[in-house]
Amino acid sequence: MDKADKLVNNREPKRLIAFFVLIVLASAVVGFIVSERIADRIVSEQITAMLDTAGGVGKDDFRFTDTDGKYAAEGEEMFTKYGISADMDPQLMNNRDRVRNTVFAAIFGTSLLLSLLWLILSLRQVGGIYDTVEKIRQNCINITWNSDSDTFITEDTGCIGSLSYAVSLMSRQYTFLADKAERERTALADFLTDFSHQIKTSLSVVRLNTDIMLGMDKLSAERRDELADEIERNTDSMESLVKSALRLARLNSGAVEYKMEELPLNNTCASAIRRLSPLLRNRSISVELIELSGEIVMKHDRLWLCEAVENLIKNCADHSECTEINVTLECTPTAVTVSVSDNGKGIPQSDIPHIFERFGRPRNDITMNSVGIGMSVAQKITEAHNGEIIVYSEVGHGTRFDMVFIK
């Protein structure tokens, strides 16, 4: 934006010029009125001085350079016949207009010079502000194409500085949101890839077994039952996968409204154990609920926290090759801890950082009952309850998951 654009396309310079014109006009009017009064005063003093001089000439104590009106009355008597007196109208004097014009020129010229100086300085100041705003505008454009643009371009602590700082904050927020969106896009792409792989695996088994059952008329009843069982298991796995994926999507999007109530935590954990009892009995896994601090009342959403505990127990049952699982409840002055531990094979230290990743189960795990999302769901639910999950594991000595809720 050049100087002409600043002057033509912005209202403030036009307002300054209009205000300058008003000041000039007002100065002319005021200057004229003031110059009239001053001229009358000067001419009146000149008349008095003239009469004083005329009346004092020839007196011993008269000094021409020191007229104080002492002899003005005597001078007035001398000039009465000419119509000249001390109280005569100054406008009757022929030099009155020249005095007025001289005074007006001095007053108006000074006012015009000061007003012009004010206009120049104001336009320069406004121009400087527009230069800064233009830089901020240009940086805002740069942000659109380059999120690393430096937007804090002034150290001014006034409104322009505040504007620059706000744009800087906006730039940082834009960068954060852009990075977050990119991470979420990448995570979504990975999720869809893993999700489709899981679905395709189960669908392939279902399709293959269905083709075998339809294409072979002489299948034995035993073989047909085996194929039907495989179809049912894979169908259940796909259903569980879709349900878990939908839960995780709701948790990640913040669409879950938790119903927080002061409820016994013991009952919630016992409910999780009861729901998994058939699965655990089929695998000959015993489960025990251990209450170290008696009944613990904690503010939580019973259904969602129950699911989080279920997922931890199910993870132990699916992956640890254990025979025992303990759910231990403990309350301290600062935290409430729900520990889910097993006596299984443990987890290698290299795999622990990946436990809570979606589809993060070990590659050599072929358990079809696990969909690889449960631990992510458990982590999200725990975080929503102001807690975190801590993992302790040693190969050959089992694993313990501590859900620690800060009071």
Question: Taking the alpha carbons of 25, 30, 31, 35 in that order, is the dihedral positive or negative?
Answer: positive
Specify which of 21-25, 96-100, 184-188, 255-259 reaches the highest per-range mean pLDDT. Answer: 21-25
Percent of all residues in the chain with a pLDDT value above 70, rounded to a whole number: 79
- Render pLDDT for 347-368 as a digit per residue (tens, 0 to 9): 998 888 888 876 544 444 434 3
CA separation for the pair 350, 362 (Å, rounded): 11
Element (H, E) at 76: helix 72-79
pTM for this structure?
A: 0.52
CA separation for the pair 210, 193 (Å, rounded): 25
Return the closest-CA partner of residue 372 out of 248, 231, 205.
248
Tokens of residue 89, six digits: 């109208």
- Work out the average pLDDT over 100-126: 91
* Alpha helices (H) along 216-264: 221-253
In sequence order, what DSSP letters do the residues of 346-392 get, joined into one string?
---TTTGGGTTSTT-S-TT---TT--S-HHHHHHHHHHHTTEEEEEE
- DSSP annotation of 343 reads -
Q: Answer for the pair 90, 35: CB distance below 8 angstroms, yes or no.
A: no
Average confidence score pLDDT of the chain = 80
- Work out the average pLDDT over 3-28: 82
- In terms of DSSP bridges, do strands 286-291 and 324-331 run parallel, antiparallel, or are they unpaired? parallel
CA separation for the pair 398, 347 (Å, rounded): 8
Check pLDDT > 90 for residue 262.
Answer: yes
- Work out the average pLDDT over 204-226: 77
- Render pLDDT for 140-189 as a digit per residue (tens, 0 to 9): 777 666 655 555 555 555 666 666 677 777 777 777 787 878 877 776 67
Return the closest-CA partner of residue 129 out of 309, 6, 243.
6
